[in-house]
């Protein structure tokens, strides 16, 4: 998984925020709200920080 500690912290502080989930889902169709990640073009999963 790719991402910084601040990206991971962002996920943990927003994981129950439905607006955050909606923004991530709208931006990244393969967004997984259970992990807070999406598949990047580099083949790695990245945390959504939107």
Dump pLDDT digits (tens) for 12-50: 899 999 999 999 999 999 999 999 999 999 999 999 998
Give bridge partners of residue 38 from the DSSP assignment.
46
Q: What pLDDT, on the 0 to 100 scale, is given for residue 50? A: 85
Q: Tell me: pLDDT of 2 over 90.
A: no
pTM summary value: 0.84
Q: Determine contact, residues 31/25, Cβ cutoff 8 Å.
A: yes
- Token pair in block for residue 24: 């991530």
Q: What pLDDT, on the 0 to 100 scale, is given for residue 1? A: 61
Q: Determine contact, residues 31/37, Cβ cutoff 8 Å.
A: yes
Q: Tell me: pLDDT of 3 over 90.
A: no
């Amino acid at each position: 998984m790719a991402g910084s500690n601040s990206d991971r912290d962002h996920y943990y502080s927003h994981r129950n925020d439905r607006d955050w989930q909606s923004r991530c889902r709208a931006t990244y169709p393969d967004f997984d709200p259970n992990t807070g990640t999406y598949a990047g073009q580099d083949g790695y999963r990245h945390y959504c920080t939107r």
